[in-house]
Structure 1
Amino acid sequence: MQNVDELKKLVGEEAANLVKDGMKVGLGSGSTVYWMVKRLGERVQDGLNITAIPTSNTTAKWAVEFGVPLTDFSKVQQLDIAIDGADEVDKNLQLIKGGGGALLREKVVAAAAKEFIVIVDESKLVSHLGAFPLAVEVTPFGWEITSVSIADLGGTPTLRHKDGEVFVTDNGNYILDCSFNQILDPEALQKDLKMLVGVVETGLFVGMADKVIVGKADGVSSITK
């Protein structure tokens, strides 16, 4: 029986092997993506010619460490493929992301890709989104008011802290982790949240994923639209 870390490695490497020569690649964030970036680095050493855009400073460091060439959106307007993890995936391939705090950049990169592939272990598959708190990135100024507005939509927001300090995203914003219990209409909630002044982005990824690669005890499977 494989443990969760082994499943993450399995799906990360599987996804990395989908990248083809000449592609422009979006690199997600998180522990599963680590294995994907590491495998991509091995393929680059073997002659694979790619350029990549990372979704977080941490992923950028991994890419440099493993020799994956990086670029940015001043040079590239569209990506061939983006590969990222998720905190929850439902049967309609709707996602909750943002546990690592990189949701804004992750969404920008996913939206710029012709194909968005999600890599998870089977523990991330759910019947309904919402058991995992929804990350909402907000401006530091007035976050208290934004928090009240989110509560009016039925969520229970908590300002994210890390190491005893308020967590600040790579974009200089705060994150409110919002408990909604069950999110029955992710698309409607996404629209309502984005209408709130002070909300920069949410961790709801609706209608974006093209394929989900799942690591299971008996191997790897994939779910497509």
Structure 2
Amino acid sequence: MTGELSPIDKAKFVAAKRATDYVEDGMRVGLGTGSTAAWMVRCLGEMVREQGLRIKGVPTSTRTAQLAQDVGIEVVSLDAAKWLDVTIDGADEFDGNLNLIKGGGGALLQEKIVATASDQMIVIADVGKEVETLGAFPLPVEVVPFGWQTTQALIEETLVSMDVLGRSTTLRMNGAAPFMTDEGNHILDLHLKRIGDARQLAMVLNQMPGVVENGLFIDICDAVVVGFGDGRVEVRDINAGTIEQAMLDFAETDNLFTDLVD
């Protein structure tokens, strides 16, 4: 199956596959949400079935929970797990300091809770997600439905004093209706183009009434596993200050993902 993948899908696959090296028998593992994270869940499921790997998975969304159960991973709640050994998740953008924008899939709140309750957070991404400065990808902000337009106006007013290039915001839709998160909230996407001070913006946004959480993940990620379309992987560890490169070998007939829908 991997021999038929596009270069970007192959990059996602090799990043996900390499990241499973962080998972050991008996661990409690945070399972991310999104297309790249779904490949990782499938890889872990294969390890459970074929290698006898024993882990407890804490999913960051209902769809990840369903996928994990489908591939044979034991799913538990974060309250039951209490603390996690590692969380592996994707990102919409990451910079040289391994700060992230997440929430393109709408699960940013659960993703941030799970990531911060882990000894390590490992991000898996194709090389196209790397940026010099965060902000090209719209920044998701989860808001409560009550008074969301007032919250939106407050955010737009506040952005005037922030170091950003764009200030437009849009309500995320699901067809004709507003998109709803697993917690029943809405998402405002902030089209900022460039974020000059991500740390400041994250703090300011979370002080606003009506804002539940924002998609800036600052000082949370410990390492990023970057996949390339030719099968190369690069592991950048922010704590150790190391960069490791390798070529990932995989079977051309691998059919892990024949029924995986992004």
TM-score (norm. length: structure 1): 0.97
Q: Which has the higher contact order (CA 8 A, sep 6+)?
A: 2
Q: 1:58-207 residue pairs with structure 2 within 5 A?
A: 58-154=63-159, 155-207=167-219
- Counterpart of 1:39 (choices 43, 52, 56) is 43
Question: Does residue 28 of the first structure (1) align with residue 32 of the second (2)?
Answer: yes
Q: Which runs of 5+ in 1 are unaligned?
A: none
- Are the counterparts in 1 of residues 7 and 228 from structure 2 also a CA contact under 8 Å? no
Look up the SS of the partner of 2:105 in the other structure. coil
Distance 2:140 2:229 in 1: 29
Equivalent of residue 23 in structure 2, options 19, 22, 26: 19
Alpha carbons 1:16, 1:37 under 8 Å: kept = no
Which residue is equivalent to 1:10?
14
CA distance in 2, matches of 1:121, 1:153: 33
* More off after superposition, 19-28 vs 155-164: 155-164
Taking the aligned partners of 2:130 and 2:140, their CA distance within structure 1 comes to 18
Contact 2:225 2:234 in 1 (8 A): yes
Cα deviation 1:47-86 (Å, max 9, x = unaligned): 1111010000110111011001011123221100000000
Aligned to 2:149, the other structure's residue is in SS state: helix
Identity among equivalent pairs (%): 47
- Cα offset for 1:156? 1.7
Matched position secondary structure for 1:223:
strand
Q: What secondary structure, in the 3-state scheme, does the structure 1 residue paired with 2:183 have?
A: coil
User: Offset of 1:2 from its aligned partner?
Assistant: 5.6
What TM-score results when the alignment is normalised by the length of structure 2?
0.84
State whether structure 2 residue 237 is matched by structure 1 residue 208: no
- 1:174 & 1:21 partners in 2: Cα distance? 38
**How many residues get paired?**
225
Render the CA deviation track for 1:118-175: whole Å, top value 9, x for unaligned.
0000000000000100000000001001101110122321000012221000010000
Q: 1:32 deviation in Å?
A: 0.3
Equivalent residue in structure 2 for 1:49, among 36, 40, 54? 54
Deviation of 1:12 after TM superposition, in Å, equals 0.9
Whether the aligned pair in 2 keeps the contact of 1:28 and 1:55 (CA below 8 Å) is: yes
After the TM superposition, which segments of 4 or more aligned residues of structure 1 sit over 4 Å from their partners?
A: none
Counterpart of 1:84, as a letter, is D
Contact 2:121 2:222 in 1 (8 A): yes
Amino acid at match of 2:53: L
